[in-house]
Chain A
């Protein structure tokens, strides 16, 4: 059974840096085609893709976030880490990590999400 769980701060002040950890279990990140993505959702809004890191360390990030966003993986800890700098109230939302498998091609398992609020 594939499980993912997000952890990190739930309240940040503007300009601070967000670091979220996605702890993985139940799958091998060395399998070709597998990836872990990050998706956020502002309150009442649609899903917004942020980034994905693949089994081969290929990382794709949302171009509009530029150098603010980085994603890394630490397989010794079975974790994927998202870092988003210069947080703004517009970054408030629920952040999900999700497993991208190859059988179905989409994000077939999701974490429960973590609500991050940016406020002074």
Chain B
């Protein structure tokens, strides 16, 4: 089955840029969706179709996807961005919907 690989954790200081990666075989050939999940809450879609930001999501959030890696970039990180972030794709074989294992973003 298709596997999405995320780093378990990323740490940045407030005001810096955080990059959260999501690796997968030829992931650049499919669309990647990103979710933010704060403690005790339901996930929130923060990026659809690689780089489409839902209304209400700050412009500080951006996405890219090419080759074997998709990236969620958060500029000017704020304390309120601290959360778990998951990437997700749809796949034709095996699991139809695949989530990465998640990356915990810590704002120092």
Question: Are A and B subunits of one complex?
Answer: yes
Main SS of chain B's interface residues?
strand
Q: Which of chain B's residues have a CB closer than 8 A to the CB of A37?
A: 97
Taking a contact as CB atoms closer than 8 A, the residue among B42, B86, B99, B100 that contacts A112 in the complex is B42
Q: In angstroms, how far is the closest chain A Cβ from the Cβ of B92?
A: 10
Is B42 within 8 A of A49, CB to CB? no
Q: Is B43 an interface residue (CB 8 A)?
A: yes
* Size range of the chain B interface in the assembly: 20 to 34
Is A104 within 8 A of B54, CB to CB? yes
Is A107 within 8 A of B86, CB to CB? no
Please tell me which stretch of B13-21, B45-53, B65-73, B74-82 contacts chain A, meaning at least 4 of its Cβ atoms lie within 8 angstroms of it.
Answer: B45-53
Is A110 within 8 A of B97, CB to CB? no
The contact sample of 5 A-B pairs, CB cut-off 8 A, is A39-B43, A48-B99, A49-B88, A96-B43, A111-B42
Q: Is A68 an interface residue (CB 8 A)?
A: no
How many angstroms between the C-alpha atoms of A49 and B54 in the bound complex? 22
Q: In angstroms, how far is the closest chain B Cβ from the Cβ of A68?
A: 15
Is A103 within 8 A of B44, CB to CB? no
How many angstroms between the C-alpha atoms of A103 and B35 in the bound complex? 16
Taking a contact as CB atoms closer than 8 A, the residue among B48, B49, B96 that contacts A52 in the complex is B96
Is A52 within 8 A of B97, CB to CB? yes
- In residues 74-108 of chain A, which contact B (Cβ within 8 Å)? 96, 98, 103-108
Q: In angstroms, how far is the closest chain A Cβ from the Cβ of B70?
A: 13
How many angstroms between the C-alpha atoms of A18 and B17 in the bound complex? 43
How many angstroms between the C-alpha atoms of A98 and B43 in the bound complex? 9
Q: Which of chain A's residues have a CB closer than 8 A to the CB of B90?
A: 105
Question: Lowest 3 A-B CB distances belong to which pairs?
Answer: A104-B48, A106-B33, A60-B96
- In residues 42-70 of chain A, which contact B (Cβ within 8 Å)? 46-49, 52, 60, 62-63
Is A105 within 8 A of B49, CB to CB? yes
